[in-house]
């Protein structure tokens, strides 16, 4: 169904011409994006012609899909107002802004928190289903540059505020902040053990809406406000990380941008660097190695002389991951060496942030193995994977599963088919116990690499064991 506007939609026609997309091409892209979300759409070139020449506005998810389809071609987010469809729903812009003003930053973050809950209750996937496929690495450019210029706001005190639902004023204290930090700590443990898609992890967006948003809109001193913004930034980054782990790249991007803005309000430069490192890992995972390097180096540059040695080591490790994905072996090797050097300089009594509790030599080895996998150096992959798998796995189940897949790939590239399948079976067993789209994607990649050996009994067995995992709903 469509509704009619007054006159032609000249904005849509102009952007289509800019992107070089024909009417038939746009219809095909929109139908394909819809199919990926379980929607049966039958738009054709005539449908697009009506949108442009008669100003017809398609209903439901279609406007968001149109914006996503054009955005994919242009390589950047396309807001609905740019294509003359802003009155359909303003949701695609939510979470992408990095306001200079602290008050506007609070509104931007809390608006995103409310939107996510609406999406989760919608049954058919809500707004995230509509936005799926709209990730654009270029959306990180403005947040990263503004944070680099000003990584800490001058003042965040808020003298008057109220909870939106009740209208009652809220005076925020340190006890309120402690509750948010405890929630973040619990969420980190659940995420590592059960994956970002586990129902316990999915309570983070609920916590942001119900707990964090009213506090951010409350009244607080500068001191309490800094702590509040820091705790909210940690929770928001976690929401982004969990969305990333479950394949909701567009949701993750918006959470990360808001987390970086909140970290700036907290005047917590290392935490801001950690958010940038998360952005870098997402960009690298999506195949944007060069942009991943930029984001990791932004985190590094602002944290020189501020962050602990262990923190700097992690930032250099993330940089190495991006260099490796970009195919720069020399730069990746240098970053890995620097990461190891910083880690060796770290000491037990260092004032490391709580959010870095996962990072040690085993995590360094695991990421080094992935760097060398991307650089097609199986001997180095095997060496580092052995180190990474040496630590007990009760707390970091997902990481163990990912490391097993990387180990299997290294064995395969070294010509050890039996060992590759053995590790693959172990990885499938672990993946079946958690909810992580990222782990499933790693398993799919392994199976793809094994296709030339499809008739081998061990490969057939592995494929059969993986079938329930691959058939599970996303």
Q: What is the mean pLDDT of residues 156-181?
A: 76
Q: Can you tell me the distance from the alpha carbon of 62 to that of 148, in angstroms, rounded to the nearest whole number?
A: 37
Question: What residue has token string 């499809």?
Answer: 454
Q: What is the mean pLDDT of residues 250-260?
A: 95
Give CA 271 to chain center in angstroms: 16
Question: What residue has token string 């003359």?
Answer: 84
Contact predicate 311/270, CB 8 Å: yes
Q: Can you tell me the distance from the alpha carbon of 15 to that of 52, in angstroms, rounded to the nearest whole number?
A: 11
The answer for 305, left when phi > 0, alpha when psi is -120 to 50, beta otherwise, is left
Distances 107 to 10, 65, 80, 263, 472 between C-alpha atoms, Å: 32, 26, 20, 15, 37
Q: What is the mean pLDDT of residues 441-445?
A: 93
* DSSP classification of residue 208: I
Q: Which residue has the higher pLDDT, 4 or 271?
A: 271
- For the CA atoms of the chain, what is the radius of gyration? 23
Provide the whole-model pTM: 0.78
Q: Would you state the pLDDT for residue 49? A: 92
The answer for 136, left when phi > 0, alpha when psi is -120 to 50, beta otherwise, is beta
Q: Can you tell me the distance from the alpha carbon of 402 to that of 416, in angstroms, rounded to the nearest whole number?
A: 19
Q: What is the mean pLDDT of residues 287-313?
A: 97
Contact predicate 234/211, CB 8 Å: no
Q: Can you tell me the distance from the alpha carbon of 389 to that of 386, in angstroms, rounded to the nearest whole number?
A: 5
Least confident of 33-37, 43-47, 224-228, 383-387: 33-37
Q: What is the pLDDT of residues 114-156, one digit of tens each?
A: 875 444 433 334 555 555 556 889 999 999 999 999 999 999 9
Q: Would you state the pLDDT for residue 268? A: 97
Q: Would you state the pLDDT for residue 162? A: 44
Question: What residue has token string 């964090």?
Answer: 212
Q: Which residue has the higher pLDDT, 238 or 4?
A: 238
Question: What residue has token string 């990380």?
Answer: 241
To which H or E segment does residue 57 belong?
A: strand 56-58
Contact predicate 57/5, CB 8 Å: yes
Which of these, 466, 473, 472, 471, lies nearest to 446 by C-alpha position? 466
Q: What is the mean pLDDT of residues 365-378?
A: 95
Q: Can you tell me the distance from the alpha carbon of 382 to that of 367, in angstroms, rounded to the nearest whole number?
A: 12
Residue 162, SS3?
A: strand
Residue 58, SS3?
A: strand
Q: Would you state the pLDDT for residue 119? A: 45
Mean pLDDT of the chain: 87
Is the CA virtual torsion 390, 395, 401, 406 positive or negative? Answer: negative
Q: What is the mean pLDDT of residues 384-402?
A: 82
pLDDT surpassing 80 at residue 277: yes
Q: Can you tell me the distance from the alpha carbon of 313 to that of 315, in angstroms, rounded to the nearest whole number?
A: 5
By percentage, how much of the chain surpasses pLDDT 90?
A: 61
DSSP line for 283-310: HHHTT-HHHHHHHHHHHHHHHTTTS-HH
Return the bridge partners of 2, or none. Answer: 58
Q: Would you state the pLDDT for residue 454? A: 83
pLDDT surpassing 50 at residue 77: yes
Q: Which residue has the higher pLDDT, 472 or 38?
A: 472
Q: Would you state the pLDDT for residue 3? A: 53
Question: What residue has token string 């932004």?
Answer: 298
- Supply 366's token pair: 């695991």
Domain 2-93 listed as CATH 1.10.260: yes
Q: Which residue has the higher pLDDT, 191 or 456?
A: 456
- CB neighbours (10 Å) of residue 304? 8
Least confident of 186-195, 264-273, 429-438: 186-195
Return the bridge partners of 58, or none. Answer: 2
pLDDT surpassing 70 at residue 207: yes
Question: Residue 74, class by beta-carbon neighbours within 10 Å (0-12 exposed, 13-18 middle, 19+ buried)?
Answer: middle
Q: Would you state the pLDDT for residue 192? A: 74
Within the chain, all domains assigned CATH 1.10.260 are found at 2-93
- Supply 464's token pair: 């059969």
pLDDT surpassing 80 at residue 314: yes
pLDDT surpassing 80 at residue 427: yes
Give CA 152 to chain center in angstroms: 23
Q: Would you state the pLDDT for residue 169? A: 56
Q: What is the pLDDT of residues 103-115, one digit of tens each?
A: 999 999 999 998 7
pLDDT surpassing 50 at residue 367: yes
Q: Can you tell me the distance from the alpha carbon of 138 to that of 229, in angstroms, rounded to the nearest whole number?
A: 25
Q: Can you tell me the distance from the alpha carbon of 313 to that of 290, in angstroms, rounded to the nearest whole number?
A: 20
pLDDT surpassing 70 at residue 61: no
Q: Would you state the pLDDT for residue 459? A: 94
Which of these, 141, 275, 161, 151, lies nearest to 224 by C-alpha position? 161
Q: What is the mean pLDDT of residues 157-164?
A: 65
């Amino acid at each position: 169904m469509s509704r009619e506007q007054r006159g032609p939609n000249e904005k849509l026609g102009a952007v289509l011409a800019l992107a070089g997309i024909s009417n038939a091409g746009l219809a095909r892209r929109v139908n394909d994006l819809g199919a990926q979300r379980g929607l049966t759409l039958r738009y054709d070139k005539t449908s697009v012609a009506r949108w442009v020449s008669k100003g017809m506005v398609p209903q439901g998810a279609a406007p968001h899909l149109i914006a996503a389809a054009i955005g994919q071609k242009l390589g950047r987010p396309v807001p609905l107002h740019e294509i003359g469809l802003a009155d359909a729903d303003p949701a695609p812009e939510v979470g992408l802004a990095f306001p200079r003003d602290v008050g506007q930053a609070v509104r931007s973050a809390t608006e995103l928190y409310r939107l996510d809950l609406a999406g989760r209750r919608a049954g058919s996937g809500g707004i995230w289903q509509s936005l799926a496929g709209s990730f654009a690495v270029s959306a990180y450019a403005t947040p990263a540059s503004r944070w680099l210029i000003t990584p800490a706001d001058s003042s965040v005190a808020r003298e008057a505020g109220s909870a939106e639902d009740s209208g009652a004023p809220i005076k925020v204290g340190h006890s309120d902040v402690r509750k948010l930090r405890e929630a973040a700590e619990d969420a980190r443990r659940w995420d590592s053990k059960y994956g970002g898609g586990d129902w316990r992890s999915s309570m983070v967006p609920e916590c942001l809406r119900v707990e964090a948003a009213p506090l951010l809109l409350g009244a607080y001193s500068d001191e309490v406000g800094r702590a509040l913004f820091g705790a909210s930034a940690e929770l928001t980054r976690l929401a982004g990380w969990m969305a990333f782990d479950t394949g909701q790249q567009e949701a993750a991007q918006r959470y990360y941008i808001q987390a970086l803005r909140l970290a700036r309000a907290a005047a917590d430069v290392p935490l801001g660097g950690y958010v940038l490192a998360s952005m870098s890992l997402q960009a690298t995972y999506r195949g944007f190695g060069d942009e991943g390097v930029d984001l990791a180096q932004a985190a590094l540059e602002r944290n020189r002389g501020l962050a602990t040695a262990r923190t700097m080591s992690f930032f250099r490790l993330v940089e190495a991951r991006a260099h490796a994905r970009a195919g720069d072996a020399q730069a990746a090797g240098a970053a890995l060496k620097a990461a190891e050097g910083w880690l060796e300089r770290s000491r037990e009594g260092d004032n490391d942030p709580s959010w870095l509790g996962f990072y040690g030599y085993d995590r360094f080895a695991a990421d080094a193995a992935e760097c060398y996998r991307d650089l097609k150096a199986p001997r180095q992959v095997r060496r580092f994977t052995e180190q990474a798998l040496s630590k007990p796995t009760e707390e970091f189940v997902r990481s163990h599963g990912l490391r097993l897949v990387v180990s299997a790939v290294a064995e395969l590239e070294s010509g050890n088919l039996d060992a590759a399948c053995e590790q693959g079976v172990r990885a499938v067993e672990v993946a079946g116990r958690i909810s992580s789209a990222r782990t499933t994607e790693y398993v799919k990649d392994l199976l793809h690499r094994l296709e030339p050996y499809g008739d081998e009994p061990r490969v057939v067995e592995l494929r059969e064991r993986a079938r329930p995992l691959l058939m599970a709903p996303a």
